[in-house]
Structure 1
Amino acid sequence: MTIPKFGSETRVNVTTADDQVSQSVTALADGGWVVTWASDGQDGNRSGVYQQRFDHNGTAASSADQLVNVTTADDQFEPSVVALADGGWVVTWTSWAQDGIAGGIYQQRFDRNGTATSVADRLVNVTTAGDQIESSVTALADGGWVVTWASDGQDGSDYGVYQQRFDRNGTAAFTADRLVNVITAGRQIGSSVVALADGGWVVTWMSWGQDGDRYGVYQQWFDRNGNAASVADRLVNVTTAGNQGQTSVTALEDGGWIVVWTSYDENYTNGEIYMQVFDRNGVAASPDDILVSTTSSGMKRLPRATALADGGWVVTWTSDQTGDSNVYQQRFLPEKAPHDLTLSASTVQEGAGAGTPVGAVAGQDANVGTTGDVLTYTLLDDAGGRFRLDGDRILVADGSKLDFEQATSHTIRVKVTDRAGNAFEKEFAIAVTDIADTGGGGGGGGGGGTPIPVDLVLRGTTGANVLTGGGGNDTLYGKAGKDVLTGGAGKDVFVFDTKPNKKTNLDTITDFSVADDPIWLDNAVFKKLGKGSASKPGALKKAFFKVADKAKDGNDYLVYNKKTGILYYDADGSGSGKAVEIAKLAKNLKLTAADFFVI
């Protein structure tokens, strides 16, 4: 796919002397964006933090780089920027020696016009002893924001992760720096913070030795008041061998979040990108780390995730798998409920022994194979004890209850559930085949005979049924629901006698044979098609059928679109009324009016 560019590549910084690095960008509500970066020597001292705002057309708001920090002594670096609910934004950064000791975390808030709300840099951390570095900032829905950082020695052992919450006016919610990590042994650094849909937020970080090996990725989530959801640090990575680091967290539309990280071996000679997806309750979507990067060669690093409007997300990272470093991406689908069930076979011989397999059920779920989702199955209706479920297989439970002379089919109901608890239910009709005695003894259901083709009559229910014929001349009534009809061998009849509806009553015929199989249409539903009955079906008039994408004449009541395989009923032909989809067939069938009968 070719993605069109808007304009050409443009340089953000106006001043080009020395280095401009460590960019951070945020999108604004009006369609514009703000970019921040650190620039070496531009503010008259060492490194300083600058910004530029762009409108929705990419036009810069200023002809010059805009200095963010007021104090320019020593270094200001590691900027992070986030847009606020009122159209403004906040920039945080590390400033060297400004708080009187070493590194400190500072911030400045700007209104929607880019005007600073303070004449001085605002110190974030309360404790100034030691270094405070690596700030991350996220905006809250109430107009406030949260800043996290790493502080050296404050928790009694090397670096620890701290946080502060600010209201919409920039007033700190906590009188002291709030420690995020519970375990303080070793080093906790590299924090990332993101706001959640419920007003709370999640913080992730990397911790040395806590998972039993080297660095591991941990998280904690907080409610809107800053109360932790757990009394312990929550380990994100399942595999603990080697180093897990460079973590980043991103919120999803459904209230959950994604954590991405790089997993290195002990010598940092190989790195792969992994992720884990959590629901709004902090429950992981997969029992294992989910591999994002699929090419085994090269060093992967610096993963970032971005949520999409459809509920999915994109993960990006850098990799030198081709020699030079390049940026790669992988898109993931959103968490979706199972949306369908299939049964691989739905015919069983009468009197079949217990444990005889009938078929395997398979749930249709977009997340299986992408985010580690796992499906489980439950048999809700076992047809009076005739069938049972083993994993995903439907087996005979009691063959003595499978008597063709008593019933030619039985209905079961299966539920598929994903890891998030989303479920889908569907009914299946299981046909019972007769066993005729070919040895001269009486006919019917006697045991010990050889199966011969039997003409089955299969009727669906109001649910979405799967009806499968056998080797005889079968008659299949889908009835209401979105059914899947398979005639099998023989000359099979497909009967439509309920009002069609594209969303709730549209059947699929999987194996329609023009040479052998007719379609019967009930004139109580399809009133323009003429006379006929089930005992004496009437042939459809040639003028009533058309192969086209729509009706061409006033009496084109049945239309087959060979490009899509859809069969339509149009009660007023080429009039203003809308055609209704009856069934889905194979494409490019050589259908004629002779394939249809009126009952």
Structure 2
Amino acid sequence: MKSSFFNDNITNVCYMVLPNTIKKGNYMAEFIVSQSGGYNKYASKATVYRDGSFVVVWESDGQDGSGYSIYGQRYGADGGKLGEEFEVNTYTTDHQRSPAIASLNNGDFVVVWESERQDGSGYGIYGRRYGTDGSALGSEFRINSYTTGNQRAPSITVLNNGDFVVVWKSDGEEGSGPGVYAQVYHNNGNKVGEEFKVSPLSTPSDTVPTVTKLPGSWGFIATYTNGDAVYATVHNPPGTDSDDHLLATFADDEILGLAGDDSIEGRGGADKIDGGEGDDTASYVSSPAGVQIDLTAATVKGGDADGDTLTSIENLIGSTHSDQLTGNKKPNVIHGQAGDDIIDGRAGADDLDGGDGNDTVTYRYSTAGVTVSLVRGVMCTGGDARGDIILNFENIIGSSYNDVLTGDDRDNLIESGGGDDTLIGGEGADVFKVTNANGIVRIKDFGQQDKLDLSEFQDIKNFDELENKMNSTYHSIFRSDLLINLGATEIILEGVKMLYENNVLYNEHSNIEHSDMLTYDV
């Protein structure tokens, strides 16, 4: 036997078996699968084995005395019953509905369904494994980890490596409306990683997702509706020449994007990610910890990035933790997401977005001076900053050359990296950090709420030692500025006549606190 056809007829589940070659008169007559009469039956599903035997499951109204429940029946290839009709769910309160079934490569089968209020909040997704003889392999188990609201409409498929994957729709799991989620299992019933979202966008509450394995790989495709369109996401197959969104599992995967502008998320495991041709993105948005990725040095570590190798990747999306993301000489798009990120676009006209958190854009390795402003809409110029668009950064680190670094109306940290630099904090309580390098650092708008960070200078540990670095003769000439002479480094605070102890940060080994004040009233 090769294929089958069955339908619900309200009070019974009817079934028809078709042979390998279909022609007039060579199929069995329709027969009733569900023998327990008097109860309405719906939503029947079947799985067929290579030898032609099959298992049918359905939902039955009131048969176990409490709402809908899930029942099943096994058959041989000749259509003869194997054993008796059996109830799948052991939790019988309220409703258990929408069954789905898949036969595993080892001859076992798995039934999944939705169960009302079993997980304490609306519907949840449950499953149960059975052996080749129809005996239950353990108890029923909850599939969804997120239990708030409803998780409904499960679908299941068996992957080519013998594992199985279940998808379902979930209400508001990431705060963005309903979505479609998935969980992968080994054929022994153990989870592979955690549940993950398979629909990049939110989906309508009435969507019914489906999942199907892909031939020639262990990947799968999930389909679902979104408004007036049907969408599909492919998970860890080879890419196509179009723009692909490729999601791997938590195992060690090899992902090839081919042509097109691809977005690839390797998730856990030591993954080999090759974007191929096009403008391709490696995403670590689901990583449980921060990642450190350098496209110039080809180093990848931390969180889901541990053990990964990246080839032909132009763009990066970080995690929701604190990341260090570095581009290369190509135009890169680097988005940090949440967390306190440090982002270095290197050369090329880059699109850099710190996202949420207290984020830093750095030009420490630029081979020429940069002009960078954190004010939205101001173009960056010079060195590695040329052509860069930066957004959602609170802090700047300059180069070793002559820079002009400007903050915005937030509290910024602006670090001079060497050379003759001009620093402008803007509004907010800013920290101006000066490194121990040759050059003159001119701070244009140092205010009472700002701080001067001298922690890089090991020989300045308190206010008294700082006072010895002042040059009052300088101020008899430049009457409105304060000069701090640190040898190879000079700091000019424009318009400053007095400096308080609490305006200065010293070497980290100094814990001296007092209220001394230097006054230059000239």
Q: Tell me the TM-score range normalised by the shorter chain.
A: 0.3 to 0.5
TM-score of the two chains, using structure 1 as the length reference: 0.40
TM-score of the two chains, using structure 2 as the length reference: 0.46
